[in-house]
A and B are shown apart, each in its own frame.
Chain A
Amino acid sequence: MEYGPAPEGADPGFQWLDGHQRQMKLFIGGEFSAPSSGQYFESLNPATGAPLAKIAQANGEDVNKAVAAAKEAQIEWAGLAGNRRARYLYAIARQIQKHSRLFAVLETLDNGKPIRETRDIDIPLVARHFYHHAGWAQTMEAELPGYEPLGVCGQIIPWNFPLLMLAWKIAPALAMGNTVVLKPAEFTSLTALLFAEICHQVGLPRGVVNIVTGDGETGRLLVEHPDIQKVAFTGSTEVGRIIRESTAGSGKKLSLELGGKSPFIVFEDADIDSAIEGLVDAIWFNQGQVCCAGSRLLVQESISKRFHEKLRVRMQTLRIGDPLDKAVDIGAIIAPVQLDRISELVQKGVEEGATLFQPEWTCPREGWFYPPTLLTEVTPSSTVAQVEIFGPVLVSMTFRTNAEAVALANNTPYGLAASVWTENLSLAHDVAAKIKAGTIWINCTNQFDAAAGFGGYRESGYGREGGKEGLYEYVKPAGMALQSIVAIEPSKNAGLDKTHKLYIGGKQTRPDGGYSFTVDGIEFAQGNRKDIRNAVEAATGAASSWANQSAHLRAQVLYYLAENLELAREEFPVSNEEFAITLDAIFTYAGMADKFDGQVHSVPYRGLTYTRNEPVGVIALICPSEAPLLGLVAPLAAAISMGNSVIAVPSSSAPLSAALIYRVLDASDVPAGVVNIVTGDPAELAATLADHAGVDGCWNFQQDLIADVERRSASNLKQVWSVTSLPFGAKEWLRHATQVKNVWVPMGD
Chain B
Amino acid sequence: MSAPDISHLLQPTERNPGVPLDLDWVESVQINRSAVERRASTLPGRRTVKKQWQAAWLLRAITCMDLTTLAGDDTPGNVRRLCAKAMRPVRQDLLEALGAGDMRLTTGAVCVYHEMIPTAVRCLSGSGIPVAAVAAGFPHGLSPLKQRIEEIQASVELGASEIDIVITRGHVLNGEWRALYDEVAAFREACGEAHLKTILATGELGTLRNVGKASLVAMMAGADFIKTSTGKETVNATIPVGLVMVRAIRDYLAATGYRVGYKPAGGIRTAKQSLDWLILMKEELGDLWVRNDLFRIGASTLLADIERQLEHHVTGRYSAYNRHPMG
Could you list which residues of chain A lie within 8 angstroms of chain B, going by C-beta atoms?
A: 1-6, 116, 119-120, 269-275, 277-278, 309, 312-313, 316-317, 326-327, 329, 355-358, 360, 423, 443-444, 606-607, 746-749
Selected from B30, B37, B42, the residue in CB contact (under 8 A) with A269 is B30
Q: Are the CB atoms of A3 and B49 closer together than 8 Å?
A: yes
Q: How far is the CA of A268 from the CA of B51 in the complex (A)?
A: 44
B10 to chain A, nearest CB (A): 14
Q: Is B113 an interface residue (CB 8 A)?
A: no
* Residue pair B48, A327 in contact (C-beta under 8 Å): yes
**Whole-angstrom distance between the Cβ of B273 and the nearest chain A Cβ:** 17
**Is B34 within 8 A of A607, CB to CB?**
yes
Chain B residues contacting A749 (CB-CB under 8 Å) are 33, 207-209
Q: List 8 A-B contacts (CB under 8 A).
A: A1-B290, A3-B53, A271-B35, A274-B36, A357-B1, A360-B3, A444-B34, A746-B34
A748-B34 in contact (CB<8A): yes
CA distance A549 to B5 in the complex (A): 51
**0/1 string, B43-59, CB within 8 A of A gives 1:** 00111111111101100
Q: Write out the residue numbers on chain B whose beta carbons fall within 8 Å of the beta carbon of A275.
A: 35
Q: Give the residues in chain B near A747, CB-CB below 8 Å.
A: 34
Which of B1, B42, B53, B247 meets A356, CB within 8 Å?
Answer: B1
A329 touches B1 (CB 8 A): no
Q: With a CB–CB cut-off of 8 A, which chain B residues contact A357?
A: 1-3
Residues of B within 8 A of A443 (CB): 32, 34-35
Which residue of the partner chain, among B1, B51, B207, contacts A4 with CB atoms under 8 Å? B51
The smallest beta-carbon distance between B45 and chain A, in angstroms, is 5
Q: State in angstroms the CA–CA spacing of A380 and B252 once bound together.
A: 35
Which A residues lie within 8 Å of B74 (CB)?
Answer: none
Q: Which residues of A contact B3 (CB under 8 A)?
A: 312, 316, 357, 360
Q: Does B233 sit within 8 A of A, measured CB to CB?
A: no
Does B176 touch A at the CB level, under 8 Å? Answer: no
Residue B4 is within 8 A (CB to CB) of chain A in the complex:
yes
Supposing A270-B30, A357-B2 touch, asked if A1 and B47 sit within 8 A by C-beta, the answer is no
By the criterion CB–CB under 8 Å, are B1 and A273 in contact?
no
User: Please, how many angstroms separate the alpha-carbon atoms of A270 and B29 in the complex?
Assistant: 9
Among A269, A606, A748, which residue has the most Cβ atoms of chain B within 10 A? Answer: A748
Which listed residue, A4, A269, A360, A607, touches B50 by the CB 8 Å rule?
A4
Residues of A within 8 A of B6 (CB): 313
B36 touching A5, Cβ below 8 Å: no
Q: How far is the CA of A115 from the CA of B148 in the complex (A)?
A: 52
CB-nearest residue of chain B to A423: B30
The answer to whether B49 and A4 have CB atoms under 8 Å apart is: yes
On chain A, the residues within 8 Å of B35 by CB distance are 271, 274-275, 277-278, 443-444, 746
The list of the 7 closest CB pairs from A to B, nearest first, reads: A4-B53, A746-B34, A274-B35, A271-B32, A748-B33, A271-B30, A6-B50
CB contacts (< 8 Å) of A313 on chain B: these are: 4, 6
The answer for the CA separation of A747 and B35 in the assembled complex, in Å, is 10
How many angstroms between the C-alpha atoms of A443 and B31 in the bound complex? 11
Which secondary structure characterizes the binding site on chain B? helix
C-alpha gap A678/B312 in the complex (Å): 82
For residue B38, CB closer than 8 A to chain A, the reply is yes
* Chain B stretch 1-39: residues in CB contact (< 8 A) with chain A: 1-4, 6, 30-39
Contact A1 B60 (CB under 8 A): yes
Known: A4-B51, A116-B45. 19 other contacts (CB 8 A): A1-B57, A1-B278, A1-B282, A4-B50, A271-B32, A271-B36, A274-B32, A277-B39, A278-B35, A309-B4, A309-B254, A312-B4, A313-B6, A326-B45, A326-B48, A355-B2, A443-B34, A607-B34, A746-B32
Q: Is there an interface contact between A1 and B33, defined as CB atoms closer than 8 Å?
A: no
Cβ–Cβ < 8 Å partners of A273 in chain B: 247
A60: shortest Cβ distance to chain B, in Å?
45
Docked Cα-Cα span, A452 to B209, in Å, equals 30
User: A116 contacts B46, CB within 8 Å?
Assistant: yes
Nearest CB of chain A from residue B16's CB, rounded to whole Å: 21
Chain A residues lying within 8 Å of B30, measured Cβ to Cβ, are 269-272, 423
Taking a contact as CB atoms under 8 Å apart, the answer to whether A5 and B33 are in contact is no
Interface pair B39/A274, CB less than 8 Å apart: yes
- What's the least CB distance linking B123 to chain A, in Å? 30
CB-defined contacts of A2 to chain B, threshold 8 Å:
53
Chain B residues within 8 Å of A272, by CB: 30
Provide the bound-state CA to CA distance between A80 and B287, in Å: 61
A351 CA / B160 CA spacing, docked (Å): 62
Given the known A-B contacts A1-B282, A749-B207, are A327 and B37 also in contact in the complex, defined by CB atoms under 8 Å? Answer: no
Once bound together, how far apart are the Cα atoms of A317 and B284, in whole Å?
9
The residue of chain A having its C-beta at the shortest distance from the C-beta of B212 within the complex is A271
Chain A residues in 8 Å Cβ range of B283: 317
Residue from A1, A116, A748 in contact with B287 in the complex, judged by beta carbons closer than 8 Å: A1
A606 to chain B: which residues have CB within 8 Å? 34
Chain B residues with CB under 8 Å of A356's CB are 1
Contact partners of A6 in chain B: CB under 8 A: 48-50
State in angstroms the CA–CA spacing of A220 and B139 once bound together: 72
- Contact string against A for B residues 185-198, beta-carbon threshold 8 Å, 1 for contact and 0 otherwise: 00000000000000
List, in ascending order, chain A residues with CB within 8 A of B34's CB: 443-444, 606-607, 746-748
> Please, how many angstroms separate the alpha-carbon atoms of A487 and B167 in the complex?
84
Output the least CB separation between A295 and chain B (Å): 19
Q: In the complex, which residues of chain B have a beta carbon less than 8 angstroms from the beta carbon of A4?
A: 49-54
In angstroms, how far is the closest chain A Cβ from the Cβ of B280? 12
- In the bound complex, residues from chain A placing their C-beta under 8 Å from that of B1 are 356-358
Chain B neighbourhood of A326, CB < 8 A: 45, 48
Q: Chain B nearest CB: distance from A118 CB in Å?
A: 12
Which residues from A are CB-within-8-Å of B2?
355, 357
Q: How far is the CB of A700 from chain B (nearest CB, A)?
A: 44
B4 and A327 contacting across the interface, CB-CB below 8 Å: no
Asked if residues B32 and A329 are in contact (CB atoms below 8 Å), the reply is no
| Residues of chain A within 8 A of B37, CB atoms compared | 748
Which residues from 103 to 128 on chain B have a C-beta closer than 8 Å to any C-beta of chain A? none
Q: How far is the CA of A120 from the CA of B48 in the complex (A)?
A: 14
CB pair A329–B46 under 8 Å, yes or no, is: yes
For B57, list chain A residues within 8 Å (CB). Answer: 1
Q: In whole angstroms, how far apart are the Cα atoms of A441 and B277 in the complex? A: 29
CA distance A595 to B222 in the complex (A): 59
Complex Cα spacing A3 to B254, Å: 26
Please give me the residue from chain B that is nearest to A269 by CB atom. B30
Q: For the complex, give the distance between the alpha carbons of A358 and B208 in Å.
A: 32
Tell me the nearest residue of chain B to A5, going by C-beta: B50
Is B38 in contact with A444, judged by CB distance below 8 angstroms? yes
CB of B182 to closest CB in A, whole Å: 28
**Chain A residues within 8 Å of B54, by CB:** 4
In the complex, chain B residues whose CB is within 8 Å of the CB of A746: 32, 34-35, 38
Complex CA–CA separation, A269 to B34 (angstroms): 16
